[in-house]
Amino acid sequence: MSYHAHLSKASDLVTLQEDTRAGFVAMAVERSSRAVPYVGEARALKVSASAAKHPAELLKLDTIRAGLVTAAGVSDKAKGHMEDADKIKAIEELITNHLETAGNAFIEELVFRFLLTKGDSLGGSMRNVTGSLAGRKLTRSILSALNMAGLPYSWRHRINGTWISGLDSDTGIEAEIRALSWGNGRGNRVLVFNCNVPAVGKNVDMCLLSTDLEQCDAAIKNIEAYVALGELKGGIDPAGADEHWKTATTALDRIRSGFENAPTKPATFFIGAAIVSAMAEEIWRELESGVLTNAANLTNPDQLASISSWLVQL
């Protein structure tokens, strides 16, 4: 069985404490990096707002209007649904309820409230970043497996959709890849990330198709073209592990139902960063019973390399 190449028991899947700590550190570093522009904007807001002697004068400073709206608690997403009059009203509420009561410290109060809104926005974006970083890590591992196997590959650009021939020296392309194409002893293969599968009616994190890059889009609609489908959960917090697994289980069950009447049943696999003991036991039972074809812990380099090699050779 393919998973036996890197797993011998359920506990092998459990995320080690040091890997959990390393994951939190990595997220903290990423969060700090993404906060840099917000801090710069806050400094710029403070300097420009200092031209106002009283809170009411802030409304006359057109150069900081966007910053005032943010300080009023309006998110970037909400701004797109508001008229100018709505934004001015929000600023007036900010001035009346918070800045005027702050007295001479109204500039500091303004900056603090600006950062509070930006911080909330950053927290929301970090939830998306977690999945993105996990995807990049897996993609790099698959690229390494292709290179080690000596299999030439092409990759599809995430933005413009063009196919580009891969190089052994490719670096930093993980964030730009929408799909990968290669050939092995079994035929041509295309791995599509975040693919809308008609047979499932939902997006699936990873879909391996038996096709070439020229027929990729058509193959997605062909239920007989699917070789494997998998779910990836990159969240590192152990407290959310069970919830991630429930979500993944629902997605995998939906996949199996969608392919129930297919001529051939594609393999299913799961890769997760936060795997606790009870979850590992359940995954192991599914592997041993054949419900799940393969699984690996994203934080374990050996397991990730093994499942990537398996995927490349399918």
Percent of the chain with pLDDT strictly greater than 70 = 97
Polymer length in residues for the chain = 314
Q: Do 82 and 219 belong together in one domain?
A: no
Mean pLDDT score of the chain: 92
Q: Which of 124, 145, 169 is the last residue of a domain?
A: 124
Instruction: Name residue, tokens 């993105």.
Output: 132
Calculate mean pLDDT across residues 133-152: 93
What is the predicted pLDDT for the residue at 209? 97
In eight-state DSSP terms, residue 188 is: E
Q: Which two tokens stand for residue 128?
A: 């998306």
Host domain of residue 113: 34-124
Q: Which of 95, 124, 153 is the last residue of a domain?
A: 124
Residue (of 162, 155, 255) closest to 203 by Cα position: 255
Calculate mean pLDDT across residues 36-64: 93
Q: Do 26 and 38 belong together in one domain?
A: no
Our CA angle for 30, 35, 37, nearest 5°, is: 125
Calculate mean pLDDT across residues 276-281: 95
Confidence of residue 77 (pLDDT cuts 50, 70, 90): confident
What is the predicted pLDDT for the residue at 168? 66
Sequence-ordered list of residues with C-beta below 8 angstroms from that of 99, at least 6 positions apart, any chain = 55, 58, 106, 109, 110
Instruction: Name residue, tokens 């007295």.
Output: 103
Q: Kindly calculate the radius of gyration of the chain based on its CA atoms and give it in whole angstroms.
A: 25
Q: Do 213 and 203 belong together in one domain?
A: yes
What is the predicted pLDDT for the residue at 76? 82
> Does 251 have pLDDT greater than 70?
yes
Confidence of residue 202 (pLDDT cuts 50, 70, 90): very high
Indicate the range of 43-52, 96-105, 161-170, 173-182 predicted with least confidence.
161-170
Question: b/e string for 88-117 if b means 16 or more Cβ within 10 A?
Answer: bebbeebbeebbeeeeeebbebbbebbbeb
Instruction: Name residue, tokens 């309006």.
Output: 74
**CA torsion, points 171, 194, 281, 3, in degrees to nearest 10?**
-60
Percent of the chain with pLDDT strictly greater than 90 = 76
> Does 247 have pLDDT greater than 80?
yes
Q: Are 179 and 192 in contact (CB under 8 A)?
A: yes
What are residue 199's phi and psi, to 5 degrees?
-65, -25
> How many angstroms separate the CA atoms of 223 and 266, rounded?
10
Q: Do 156 and 56 belong together in one domain?
A: no
> Does 220 have pLDDT greater than 90?
yes
Calculate mean pLDDT across residues 7-33: 91
Q: Do 208 and 89 belong together in one domain?
A: no
Q: Do 212 and 289 belong together in one domain?
A: yes
Indicate the range of 73-87, 100-114, 292-306 predicted with least confidence.
73-87
Residue 314, H or E segment: none
Q: Do 10 and 75 belong together in one domain?
A: no
Q: Are 145 and 168 in contact (CB under 8 A)?
A: no
Q: Do 300 and 170 belong together in one domain?
A: yes
Number of domains into which the chain is organized: 2
> How many angstroms separate the CA atoms of 164 and 156, rounded?
6
Q: Do 201 and 174 belong together in one domain?
A: yes
Calculate mean pLDDT across residues 290-312: 96
Calculate mean pLDDT across residues 199-221: 94
> What type of residue is 47?
V
> Does 126 have pLDDT greater than 70?
no
> Does 170 have pLDDT greater than 80?
no
First to last CA, the chain: 13
> Does 123 have pLDDT greater than 80?
no
Q: Which two tokens stand for residue 141?
A: 């591992």
Give 81: exposed, middle or buried? Use CB within 10 Å, 0-12, 13-18, 19+: exposed
> What type of residue is 170?
D
Q: Which of 124, 148, 183 is the last residue of a domain?
A: 124
Helices of type H across the chain: 17-49, 65-71, 76-79, 84-94, 106-148, 216-219, 241-258, 277-289, 301-313
Confidence of residue 127 (pLDDT cuts 50, 70, 90): low
What is the predicted pLDDT for the residue at 30? 81
> How many angstroms separate the CA atoms of 38 and 121, rounded?
10
